[in-house]
């Protein structure tokens, strides 16, 4: 760079230095041009380098994002092999969770059932005969006894789980066990019939002035008969003569066809089959229904269960009721086809007699609130006649299993 002193000195010697200045000026101009050219080149190179660098950075970023996308995509989109494996993994997880959602299988149990040789067993005759051929969750061990006294101790001891017994015996059992049993259904309504060869008797009121032979002194037949006689207003006009066995009543009717007897089924039907002069003229079940307005009925047999067994195996009790109901339905639908089951159990000797008797036995399977309404009034009637007939007290509401 030229100093100001030098430039002033050169002015004073303009003529001498002019050629030199011209040469130097050209040199300086060329130098400046080279410098400017170099600046432009450097600027171009710097800008080019920046672009390249940015391109490299962008490429690196894109590569990194692509790698991340590929990683993320592996969760959303699996290979065919992985797609096949995923359902297996899900199925495994679901199968492992299934036990928490699905109900536990009910353990099978042997249900010990006892019933009486008579109408209370007729309703389950098909169930007993076909139990080995039915698809059931539980097994059943049936016993048929000739008297309630053979069954009640077994229930108390826990040797019998379900029992089909007389209605009043169920109330006695409830009181004796201090509420240890529940009634689960009514299996038989009234089975008492008026049988006679006297054609003048066509209704219950026609018994006025007659002597009536029957069994059950000091028991439910007497209490029911007295109740109905009082309702009809003829209690003081009818003489009841008691026999120890139904066969004795049949014998009295055979000797005098004009005599009047009250017989339970199937004895009533058997008497009319053997002696054509005899007929069933009145069904006391119908008389009861016409005499009361409390919803009660004349009840012969009920089904009870030990409450301990009910608490432990409610499904088994429900299964029994369902099978009992099916058996009763079968009996009422086709008595002729059902009769052989009854004969095979030794309840009735001949199929023709069983065919005629079954419709008159009033076989039912009444459960729930209807059961309570039907049975409670009947037990109250027995209690009013003789408290000891139901065990000293009418059972409380917890006696009735309403399911």
pLDDT digits (tens, 9 = 90+) for 91-142: 444 444 444 555 455 789 999 999 999 999 999 999 999 999 999 999 999 9
How far is Cα 122 from Cα 264, in angstroms, rounded to an integer? 14
For residue 81, the model assigns a pLDDT of 42
pLDDT classification of 370: cutoffs 50, 70, 90: very high
Residue 277's SS3 state is coil
Q: Which residues pair with 115 in a beta bridge?
A: 144, 164
Sign of CA dihedral 145, 150, 152, 155: negative
pLDDT: which is higher, 73 or 324: 324
pTM for this entry: 0.74
Is residue 341 left, alpha or beta, with left meaning phi > 0 and alpha meaning psi from -120 to 50? alpha
| 218-232 residues labelled b (16+ CB within 10 A) or e (exposed) | eebbbbbbebbbeeb
277 in Cβ contact with 197 (< 8 Å): yes
The number of beta carbons lying within 10 Å of the beta carbon of residue 284 is 21
Listed in sequence order, the residues at least 6 apart from 346 whose beta carbon sits closer than 8 Å to its beta carbon are 117, 144
CA distance 1 to 179: 129
**How high is the pLDDT of residue 65?**
42
In the predicted structure, residue 263 carries a pLDDT above the cut 90: yes
Summarize pLDDT for 135-148 with one digit per residue, the tens.
999 999 999 999 99
Distance CA 112, CA 259 (A): 43
CA distance 247 to 243: 9
- Burial class of residue 119 (count of CB atoms within 10 Å of its CB; 0-12, 13-18, 19+): buried
pLDDT at 211: 97
Average pLDDT over residues 60-68: 43
User: Considering only CA atoms, which of 235, 209, 227, 200 is closest in space to residue 287?
Assistant: 227
Residue 286: Cβ within 10 Å count: 14
> pLDDT-based confidence at 90, cuts 50/70/90?
very low
Please check the confidence at residue 18 and state whether its pLDDT lies above 50.
no
Q: Distance (Å, rounded) from C-alpha 364 to C-alpha 76?
A: 64
Q: What is the pLDDT of residue 43?
A: 46
Burial status of residue 41 (CB atoms within 10 A of its CB: 0-12, 13-18, 19 or more): exposed
pLDDT for position 282: 98
Length of the chain: 403
16: left (phi over 0), alpha (psi -120 to 50) or beta: alpha
* Percent share of the chain, pLDDT over 70: 74
> Average pLDDT of the chain?
83
Strand segments, DSSP code E, in 84-135 are 110-116
């Amino acid at each position: 760079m030229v100093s100001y002193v030098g430039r002033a000195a050169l002015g004073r010697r303009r003529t001498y230095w002019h050629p030199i200045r011209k040469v130097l000026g050209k040199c300086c101009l060329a130098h400046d041009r080279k410098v400017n050219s170099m600046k432009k080149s450097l600027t171009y190179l710097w800008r080019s380098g920046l672009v390249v660098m940015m391109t490299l950075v962008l490429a690196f970023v894109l590569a990194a994002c692509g790698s991340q996308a590929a990683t993320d995509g592996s969760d959303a989109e699996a290979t065919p092999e992985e797609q096949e494996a995923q359902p297996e993994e899900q199925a495994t997880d679901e199968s492992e969770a299934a036990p928490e959602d699905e109900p536990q299988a009910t353990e099978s149990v042997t249900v010990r059932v006892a019933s009486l040789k008579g109408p209370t067993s007729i309703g389950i005759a098909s169930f007993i005969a076909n139990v080995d051929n039915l698809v059931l969750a539980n097994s059943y061990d049936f016993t048929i006894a000739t008297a309630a006294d053979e069954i009640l101790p077994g229930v108390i001891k826990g040797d019998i789980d379900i029992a089909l017994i007389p209605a009043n015996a169920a109330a006695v059992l409830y009181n004796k066990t201090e509420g240890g049993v529940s009634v689960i259904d009514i299996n038989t309504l009234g089975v008492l019939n008026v049988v006679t060869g006297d054609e003048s008797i066509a209704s219950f009121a026609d018994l006025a002035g007659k002597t009536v032979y029957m069994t059950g002194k000091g028991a439910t037949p007497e209490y029911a008969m007295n109740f109905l006689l009082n309702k009809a207003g003829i209690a003081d006009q009818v003489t009841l003569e008691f026999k120890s066995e139904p066969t004795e009543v049949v014998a009295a009717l055979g000797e005098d066809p004009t005599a009047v007897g009250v017989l339970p089924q199937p004895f009533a039907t058997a008497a009319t089959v053997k002696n054509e002069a005899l007929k069933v003229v009145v069904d006391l079940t119908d008389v009861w229904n016409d005499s009361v307005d409390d919803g009660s009925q004349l009840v012969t047999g009920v089904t009870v269960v030990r409450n301990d067994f009910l608490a432990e195996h409610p499904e088994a009790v429900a299964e029994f009721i369902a099978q009992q109901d099916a058996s009763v339905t079968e009996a009422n639908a086709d008595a002729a086809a059902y009769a052989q089951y009854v004969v095979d159990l030794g309840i009735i000797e001949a199929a023709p007699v069983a065919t005629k008797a079954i419709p008159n036995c009033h076989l039912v399977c009444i459960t729930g609130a209807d059961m309570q309404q039907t049975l409670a009034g009947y037990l109250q009637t027995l209690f009013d006649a003789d408290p000891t007939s139901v065990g000293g007290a009418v059972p409380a509401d917890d006696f009735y299993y309403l399911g």
